[in-house]
Structure 1
């Protein structure tokens, strides 16, 4: 059973300090949508005008190389906001669901009015945007300095951290399916390399893999902690 929109909005960092009256005003402007797995919400060629709020499901943010290979930038879990949050960075990317997802959107004109009226929300939006850009840049720099095994361990840790940020209770969360392709997109490695390294990591007791769900073992967590 899905919770009322107010419940989700109160859990979203951007609106966390707003009053019930203000939250209800936002609810009146929201459009709700249900999307199947592998639905592309927008592409780099589109002008993104709405702000998206992920209520349930999973969305990946990625770019593509000239050769058509996906480069994974982020995995979004319930409570995440993306799209046009009132400020533009000029960054172009794809947003695609990787699970059946329930998403609501807020139109750009309403968000602009809200940010003008609520400076604290505008400041929070800027901080959120700055944090996200910093995470993307750190991820690219960090991975460029690591070997294949370290990249995979770091990606598994990142997926796990994203899982913990979900606003849903643990019992309702749907874990990310870490396919070899998804790990390849996140690490810049080939699928063949990912497959070989996953086998080695499992043999070395650093990860556990079951039904496309990969997790770090205590030994694996220690190995990743050294990389930070």
Structure 2
């Protein structure tokens, strides 16, 4: 699927790509939940609806690979997506875990023709796909959408810089606490393995497991299978202040 998803989906029939049987025709409602489209008029939503196609991606599938040619933009409706990069030394570095209601694959907007990271479905995902041509047309006709896209990209850049600072100057416990606080805003981090957390903080899985067990003994959190329940956000936050 990777590398050909945009072409495959946008080249499919108007009735939608294979695999969408049973999914209700709620694309317009899904699109309105994307923050950058929140106040488009009825007519503008009609145009956007015609620009996009829905598709599903199974858990664990790669949506696009690093260095693939950038051909379009992805709008995440349901499920979570991991953005990660393989460094020249072969190490995997997680860049972000995206939740529903956002977009990714924005390289066409930045005049970059090759992906600088890869995208992988953490869960079964429902996506809308836009071609590069339609992205450019939308931004030209709806400048406020372009400004919102720039705002999202700016926030992501700031988050990436913060993660790089963490990797350079903070200890593994502090880096892990930072990631848990960010991912567990609702008090729970689910569906993320210790290896995934290691990729996010630049540490071995064994080190992450040892640190999580120490956090549990300290009463900061409770561990169960592929789930972390945060019990003491203040305690984790103190680790950041002391680092």
CA distance in 1, matches of 2:106, 2:173: 35
**1:170 alignment partner in structure 2:** none
Over aligned residues, Cα RMSD in angstroms? 2.2
Aligned ranges for residues 142-153 of structure 1 at < 5 Å? 142-153=166-177
**1:171 alignment partner in structure 2:** none
Count of residues in Structure 1 that have an aligned counterpart in Structure 2: 216
SS class of match (1:52): strand
**1:193–1:82 Cα change, 3 Å:** same
CA distance in 2, matches of 1:3, 1:213: 33
CA distance in 2, matches of 1:130, 1:192: 34
TM-score w.r.t. the length of structure 1 is 0.87
**2:136 alignment partner in structure 1:** 112
TM-score w.r.t. the length of structure 2 is 0.82
Structure number, greater radius of gyration: 2
Runs of 4+ in 1 over 4 A off after TM superposition: none
Unpaired segments of 5 or more residues in structure 1? 165-173
**1:141–1:185 Cα change, 3 Å:** same
Say whether the 8 Å CA contact 1:181–1:191 is kept in structure 2: yes
1:224 and 2:243 aligned: no
Aligned ranges for residues 5-84 of structure 1 at < 5 Å? 5-84=27-106
Say whether the 8 Å CA contact 2:71–2:108 is kept in structure 1: no
CA distance in 1, matches of 2:31, 2:204: 39
